[in-house]
Amino acid sequence: MEVVVVRRWIFLVLGVLLAIAGAVWTLQGLNLLGQSGGMNGARIWVVIGPIAVLGGLALVRIGVRAGRSTRSSPTPR
């Protein structure tokens, strides 16, 4: 059971981090953050960012489902 809990947290943390990074990449690609740098205004990040957000949300969903399966499984007697 501990392996499932650790796996659940790994999926949740990685998913949230990937979704946040994807959102930042999208904003940088749209040049909305107001900073200077190599990523700002580069349109490729407008494509990569939402893909990363969707991947992150998928990882979060997997983590949430893993948590549900541990709670709904019957306890051994």
Question: 67, 19 in Cβ contact below 8 A?
Answer: no
Assessment of whether the complete model's pTM goes beyond 0.95: no
For 19-38, how does the pLDDT look when each residue is reduced to its tens digit (9 = 90+)?
A: 999 999 999 999 888 776 77
What band does 54 get if pLDDT is binned at 50, 70 and 90? very high
Residue 70 is predicted with a pLDDT of 56
17 vs 1: CA distance, rounded Å: 25
Residue 12 is predicted with a pLDDT of 95
Residue 75 is predicted with a pLDDT of 56
The mean pLDDT value for 29-58 works out to 88
How crowded is the C-beta side of 33, counted as CA atoms within 13 Å? Answer: 16
